[in-house]
Amino acid sequence: MNANEIRKRFLDFQVKHGHKVIPPAPLVLDNDPTTLFTGSGMQPLLPYLLGQPHPEGTRLTDSQPSMRLQDIEDVGDPRHTTVFEMLGNWSLGDYFKKEQIENFFEFLTKEVGLNPEKIYVTCFIGNEKYGIPKDTEAAEIWQSVFQKAGVEAKIVEIGSAKHGDERGIKPGERIFFYDDKENWWSRGGGIETTPLGDPCGPDSEVFYDFGEDKQDVEKYGKSHPASDGARFMEIGNQVFMQYKRKEDGTFEELEHKNVDFGGGLERITAASIDSFDVFKISLLRPIVEKLEELSHKDYDNNTDEMRVIADHLRGAYLLAAQGLTPSNKAQGYALRRLVRRAVLRALDLGIGQDFLAQILPVIEENYRDLPDDILPCRNKVLEVLTKEENAFRKTITKGVKELQKLGSDQLLTGTELFKLQDTYGFPLELSIEEAYKLNLKLSDDYQAEFERALNAQRERSKTASKGMFKGGLSDTSNQTIKYHTACHLLLAALQQEIDPSINQKGSNLTPERLRFDFNIDRKLTPEELKKVEDRVNAWIAADLQVVFAEYEKDFAFDKLHAHGSFRDRYPDRVTVYAIGTGTPEDTPDTMDTSLVSIEICGGPHVSHTGELGHFRITKEESSSAGVRRIKAVLE
């Protein structure tokens, strides 16, 4: 089977087991500039994992295109990619561990056809300090599943991955207990860093075994599922969300326990053809074959270059097909970086001008099965990306000219080399190559100097991106929820006092403040800001009710006139929040005509505006072209 067939089989399999297919979130998060890209299928579902009813019910499934640029430096090995597709299914207070484990095993062995002898799994060993028990329930379910398939499945405690590197595995062992660094899920990572109010819990990861010959014992230690070696590859993770962290740092069980499953389409497809190299699957191999044709070189001797090009241009295609254009800010910069890294690797392969025009049609063919509402700008991709390719080739020419300005007696330091890359986009390897051609001397420590400058920039980037999360919420504490409701009031006040055509363009919420982006082509005056601030505080003082209910999408838009930015991307049923005079028993369509705000939103929110306190605008500034930003606090 190819990847498109596996995607279809997964969704059909989940529908057969009572799940509703929900549309994937956009890869480019237009409504939240604080988060670059969708990195998993669960990001848009956090309110529902916390207990809010989902319009489509308690069993959901989708296939979510995702991007994680933190893996960009790892691309070039057989399994890392910046862009991937996550197959997902969720139980919102419905089934739990037994049905999830049995169904996923059935999908892998019956639908995909994997040999059960090659499947290994991990479970959570527990944590005494926080009173979290060992997940023996999941381990015993797995043991039963394997035994029914005629596969020996001994359970063994490993603990840390480092201990696994020293110990390895023994014949018959198939189910492994690891600590919270490997088998505990929260947005913060391990147990100690679990954010307050977040759903969290033990997970059970599933691995495919490509054989002992793939393990580099000298480099990675003995083979085991959590090893960094190439023998085992994770193909799915089942998160059992059964806890929530309380304000005092301890954990309590959720009243409604959830399942959050994610499985990499690329990795499951690689396992289905028994290839530890994901670049040999149907979504990537045609790109590699085209590169072999254009370069007159073979993949086996040029794997790094061809893997980087195939991954980066696939990611660039999907981003551009969702309407993103290259720029020097945020998502646009990420797209620019992908294209330029691919162009450089093409130069390494000897591929000349206009190579994107020959590669992009191959990628487009791979994604012809995805509907236009997921890739609405697919017809503009070639124009947008070839324009960037041509611009970068001019940048390379400019970088050469900058080097030519230097005298042959001038020492070229790593700091100056980094500046060439950072300012002109001129890569280090090209700078060194051109420096030798021009007889320029390099400082003895240029590589270390370059790395220091690069690492300093990375630290600045990490600081700038701290606290990012889908929907703008950094956590789900009470104070952050108050700021979420305040955003609804702020949008309504801007529309009422400034311009009814104003829409939200993004938000970032923490327990300390809100940041709200909106469309307008001018700076607001102090008088206008005071009107907006006073309007919000008047609504807070009125202690208005905040109510919500589910409706058919068309009813929400056309009858209730609810505000929402992505009509075509919303599911058939949506959740609508309304703020106005009424009672807690009201719903948005029964609340009287004095509505302050009515929006399609996933929540969470306070129950009445009197909880918010005093609203104060602290700053108004430019965010980007045609977009302004307000920062405010609740006191």
- Most confidently modeled of 315-319, 351-355, 451-455? 315-319
Which tens digit of pLDDT belongs to each residue from 293-336? 999 999 999 999 999 999 999 999 999 998 888 886 678 888 98
Does residue 72 register a pLDDT over 70? Answer: yes
Overall pTM surpassing 0.75 (yes/no): no
CATH superfamily to which 477-634 belongs: Threonyl-trna Synthetase; Chain A, domain 2 (3.30.980.10)
Does residue 548 register a pLDDT over 90? Answer: no
Q: Output the pLDDT for position 398.
A: 78
Give the SS3 label for residue 85.
strand
3-280 is classed CATH 1.25.40.10: no
Q: Write down the domain spans for the chain.
A: 3-280, 285-397, 406-468, 477-634
**CA–CA distance, 599 with 602 (Å, rounded to integer):** 10
Per DSSP, 133 falls in state P
Q: Output the pLDDT for position 471.
A: 40
SS3 string, 2-65, reads CHHHHHHHHHHHHHHCCCEECCCCCCECCCCCCCCECCCCCHHHHHHHCCCCCCCCCEEEEEEE
Q: Which long-range contacts (CB under 8 A, 24 or more apart) does 128-137 make?
A: 130/191, 130/250, 130/251, 131/250, 131/251, 132/191, 132/202, 132/243, 132/251, 134/177, 135/177, 135/183, 135/202, 135/204, 135/240, 137/97
Give the SS3 label for residue 288.
helix
- Most confidently modeled of 244-253, 357-366, 456-465, 554-563? 357-366
- Whether the CB-CB separation of 53 and 318 falls below 8 Å is answered with no
Does residue 465 register a pLDDT over 70? Answer: no
Q: What percent of the chain has pLDDT over 70?
A: 94
Write the DSSP assignment of 431-447 as a string of letters: HHHHHHHTTPEEPTTHH
Span between the terminal Cα atoms of the chain, in Å = 58
Which tens digit of pLDDT belongs to each residue from 36-69? 787 777 777 877 887 788 999 999 999 988 888 8
**CA–CA distance, 289 with 309 (Å, rounded to integer):** 12
What token pair was written down for 137?
A: 């329930």
Q: Output the pLDDT for position 537.
A: 95
**CA–CA distance, 88 with 239 (Å, rounded to integer):** 11
User: Residue range 523-536: average pLDDT?
Assistant: 95
- Whether the CB-CB separation of 277 and 49 falls below 8 Å is answered with no
